[in-house]
Structure 1
Amino acid sequence: MSRIFTVLAMLAALLVAPMSASAENLDPENTIYLDLKDGRVTIKLRPDLAPNHVERIKKLTRQGFYDGIIFHRVIDNFMAQTGDPTGTGMGGSDEPYLKAEFSNASFKRGVLGMARAGDPNSANSQFFIMFADGGWLNGQYTVWGEVVDGMEHIDAITRGEPPANPDKIIKMQVAADAS
């Protein structure tokens, strides 16, 4: 009987270890903290997939660009979009557009993608976080990160196009710069 418990304990440890290791072993230079009204979201950046997009996100984050910006388009069972200082979905930063960095990465729950206009090479500062899988976006938008902790805070973002009382990014920072 005790051998069964030992085997079950070992199996449980093997199943839990990968989940906790993903949040513990993050590179602070390639991790973003996104503070929302309900708590902190930890985002693993993916420079292996989209080095130019990751650099843009880090640059704007370090400038404080995203602090106070609302989630202007939040569609239930799809995604939450932010990154427009005008709050209309039509604005961006003063930086030039980015060339698309499409990859084989899937748009699944928790993935962050770069929003753009009709031109694939028109991404600037707006991004979205997936609430659910969206395979039809694969190869059409640039994947640049993934939520590794705090997805429940993303799930709590107020829905709407635009939301009547939109949530905002309280603070966004590169983990290496966090105090």
Structure 2
Amino acid sequence: MIGKLSAALFAFGLLGAAPAPDWRPLDPENLLVIDTTRGRIIVEMAPAMAPQSVARVTLLAREGVYDGLQFHRVIEGFVNQTGNPNNKDGGTSSHPDLPLEATFKLKMAGYRAVAAPTDGTVGFLGTVPIQTVSGQEALRSKDGTVRAWGAYCPGVAGMGRQAGEDTGNSEIFFMRGSSRRLDRDYAVWGRIVVGSDVNSVIAVGEPPAKPDLMLKVRVAADIPAAERPHLSMLSQDSAAFRTLVRQTRIARGADFSICDLEVPVRVDP
């Protein structure tokens, strides 16, 4: 039994993690810069989790579709919803609907779980919180991957859809609070890494009396180098991150959730 447990822990990187530099730069191709009427929000996109959703958000940003759109449905403690060209639920772009990308195959190599209860592990893919199947299922994997999904914690970016599963199009939303009931039901495509304070003050309402706007939405790589934001995340292999995890788990005890943690991100010169 001890041998099986150790193997599962090794599979998810809980034992034997190699040392790494403390900070790693975030890829500007996967950073979405949203200038709103309340300030700037920057999202790290996660193409490994939802490649078609990320490609669609990137395309619409580059087409200018998102520029000037309202946060048309904003619920305190729940979501900030936007991205519909008609500023109402049900609006779509000129592009076809997308298949649901609510789960994905996670490569175990390089993944560092922060906790591994018997029913599954929790950790991060980049800065995005995720959950996976159990360690025992990981041991049965034939291709070095396991089934995983995004965890709907504060700041997580999701792909909206209609009642049908395969109806994602242009609508996006950002979590104001935790709502794990959305896990495996809506595609997670990223997480806010700068501007959580902005996200929390977007005007509330369905629709708001005076909606806030996404004034300009750009991929960081498309912004001139001199103006482009440069961000780095704390390595999950670093002693500092392991200390953060340990302190959080001690503080929360049996109530610990992956939503209690965020991967620190800094703005570089």
TM-score range, shorter chain: 0.7 to 0.9
Identity value in percent? 40
Stretches of structure 2 that go unaligned for 5 or more consecutive residues are 1-20, 104-148, 225-269
| Paired residue type of 1:142 | A
User: For residues 10-66 of structure 1, what are the alpha-carbon distances to aligned partners after superposition, in whole Å with 9 as ceiling and x for unaligned?
Assistant: xxxxxxx96xx47xx110101100111222111000001000100000000001110
Q: Using the alignment, how far apart are the partners of 1:165 and 1:37 within structure 2?
A: 11
SS of residue matched to 1:172: strand
**CA RMSD in angstroms, aligned pairs only:** 1.3
Q: How do 1:110-125 and structure 2 match up within 5 A? A: 110-125=155-170
Q: How do 1:23-62 and structure 2 match up within 5 A? A: 25-62=25-62
Which residue is 2:97 aligned to?
A: 97
SS of residue matched to 1:170: strand
Q: How many residues align?
A: 159
Q: Using the alignment, how far apart are the partners of 1:63 and 1:87 within structure 2?
A: 17
SS of residue matched to 2:206: coil
Flag the structure with higher helix content.
1
| Paired residue type of 2:52 | N
Report the alpha carbon displacement of residue 149 of structure 1 after superposing the two structures with TM. Answer: 0.9
TM-score (norm 1): 0.86
| Paired residue type of 1:37 | T
Say if 2:81 and 2:174, in contact at 8 Å, map to a contact too. Answer: yes
Say if 2:72 and 2:208, in contact at 8 Å, map to a contact too. Answer: yes
Structure whose CA Rg is larger: 2
Q: Using the alignment, how far apart are the partners of 2:196 and 2:204 within structure 1?
A: 15
SS of residue matched to 1:169: strand
TM-score (norm 2): 0.58
1:166 aligns with 2:211: yes
Any runs of at least 4 consecutive aligned residues in structure 1 with deviations exceeding 6 A, and if so which? none
User: For residues 127-154 of structure 1, what are the alpha-carbon distances to aligned partners after superposition, in whole Å with 9 as ceiling and x for unaligned?
Assistant: 1000011100000000001001111111
Report the alpha carbon displacement of residue 105 of structure 1 after superposing the two structures with TM. Answer: 1.3
